[in-house]
Structure 1
Amino acid sequence: MSSSPWFMCDGTESEPGPAARVYCFPHAGGNPRSFLGWQSDLAGVAEIAGLCPPGRGNRYREPALTDVAELADAVAHEISATADRPFVLFGHSFGAVLAFEVARRIGHLPDFRHLVASGCSAPSLLPTRRVVEAARLEGREFTEAVGFFGGLPPEVMADESLQELLLPNLRADFRMVAGYAYRPAAPLSVPVTLINGTDDPHISEAGLQPWERECLRPPVRHRAEGGHFYFDGRSRTVTDILRSLLPAAPGAGQPGDWHVELI
């Protein structure tokens, strides 16, 4: 993946590398580098590739895409052109919406094995009113509105100069999600897994149920202890599940080192 500007990898795996890959899609305003810390959990099993679209990370000079469908088209094209081994898509929050839309576009690829949607209500229910309202706000009002979702350090919440420096990407992503237009389509043929925190304040049972209409088979559902960012400091809540989904993964099976409730 070193030849693709769209995905960041940590570069520790030697050629030809592991037999599988996990494409990771960040939450709104998220840093693709945050996924690279998961690589050690999946050493020898899969390569972690964090999505870095135009306008983000080392591509900050490129014009950012502002439409979910347009971004999904571009990511799907890049994966179709570069996928060289079995792979899984993992997306969290906004990243799960984007991963879902990409999955719709690449369902024909034989190496596409699984979609994992984390911290996200069913796409047919999005955008939520809270997201739409937050996307209209500026300055301190925006910061306070998105604080509901978690993930903003206290020092950022308290310092307006830090907010101006760090939150433009978050604001842009909220506006992108607010403009998301779900369209009914054929259900996904690949298996789908949903992961959500037990204390996530904005993911309800009613919000998850319509995911079943997006899949040929009912999605497997996991509940992990914690809130919206249940995996902060506990990467294996996700990587143990990913390991169990990867082809011929050593030690594949039910995750066991962290409490995960299978629904």
Structure 2
Amino acid sequence: MRLFCFHHAGGAASSFAGWQEGLGESVTVVPVQLPGRERRIRQPRFRDFGRLLDELDEQLAPLMEGHYAVYGHSLGGLIAHELIRRVVATGRRAPELLMVGACAPPHLPRAAVAPQHASDAELTSWMRGLGGVPDRVARHPDWLRRSVDLLRDDLCLAHSHPRHPAVPLPVPLRVLAAQDDPLLTPAQARGWSGHTSHDFRVHTLPGGHFFHREYPETTLRVISQLLPVATERV
């Protein structure tokens, strides 16, 4: 089974480094790299959700013909959910399992700081409050400035997400929520239940918004326990 992984705002595919080793040979981890970072650093970043979905749909569709599952973290959860909405709406094969982590349901108002009006200092403070600024980045002004520019564009992308009423998908849905995440309360996590007509469950993990970096072993243990359930349904 392929596991497509979509990263958080201001992040990159490397946030899933170690997942292949941690999940083992029965899963092929496919970290999806958005433009404008790491190996795609020279490509322009997207600020429009629809245009991003068009590109992802074109590039990933051939890989989604077999058995697959999807995980998205924060912004990646919105991307993963919206992509699967499109897959289902066009009659293609749905994933065996959709997992979102640290991501509020898409029908709720946006909780992130408004990127169009926030200063660099405000974005930096907000990002640090969530634990999203590694010490090595904070010590280098040039790195920090580039990180803030990347975050601003990704937040603009998130704010361009088309908010719409919940449409239940015929896909099992799991929400990974951390105990100390200020952007996703337990009540908000349960709000995802309206987005599936299949079975639904919330899994609470330790840590904050970036629990997958704080507690990678715990996160991978939960995901590995969920994936065999999806496999058995095939």
- Give the TM-score range, shorter chain: 0.7 to 0.9
Whether contact under 8 Å (2:207, 2:214) holds in the other structure is no
Cα shift at 1:171? 1.6
Residues 100/126 of structure 1: CA separation in 2 closer, same or farther (3 Å cut)? farther
Partner of 1:52: 33
TM-score, normalised by the number of residues in structure 2? 0.87
Partner of 2:80: 99
Partner of 1:32: 13
Whole-angstrom distance in 1 between the partners of 2:190 and 2:10 = 27
Q: Which amino acid aligns with 2:165?
A: P
Q: Which deviates further from its counterpart, 102-111 or 41-50?
A: 102-111
2:92 is aligned, of 106, 109, 116, to 109
Whole-angstrom distance in 2 between the partners of 1:233 and 1:209 = 23
Whole-angstrom distance in 2 between the partners of 1:94 and 1:111 = 20
Q: List gaps (5 residues or longer) in structure 1.
A: 1-19, 253-263
Cα shift at 1:152? 0.9
| Counterpart mapping for 1:182-261 below 5 A | 182-184=163-165, 186-247=167-228
Q: Deviations over 1:139-164 (max 9, x none)?
A: 22221122222221245345533312
Whether contact under 8 Å (2:4, 2:30) holds in the other structure is yes
**What is the Cα-based RMSD across aligned positions, in Å?**
2.4
Partner of 1:122: 105
| Counterpart mapping for 1:127-206 below 5 A | 127-128=110-111, 130-132=112-114, 134-157=115-138, 159-184=140-165, 186-206=167-187
Partner of 1:5: none
Whole-angstrom distance in 2 between the partners of 1:249 and 1:215 = 15
Secondary structure of residue in 2 paired with 1:146: helix
Partner of 1:257: none
Partner of 1:43: 24
Q: Deviations over 1:179-231 (max 9, x none)?
A: 32212363111100000111112211332232121111352110011111122
Q: Which amino acid aligns with 1:167?
A: V
Q: Deviations over 1:80-124 (max 9, x none)?
A: 222353111101111111111011011343362111000011111
TM-score, normalised by the number of residues in structure 1? 0.78
Q: For this pair of structures, how many residues does the alignment match?
A: 230
Q: List gaps (5 residues or longer) in structure 2.
A: none
Whether contact under 8 Å (2:211, 2:219) holds in the other structure is no
Whether contact under 8 Å (2:64, 2:93) holds in the other structure is no
Higher-RCO chain (CA-CA 8 Å, sequence separation at least 6): 2
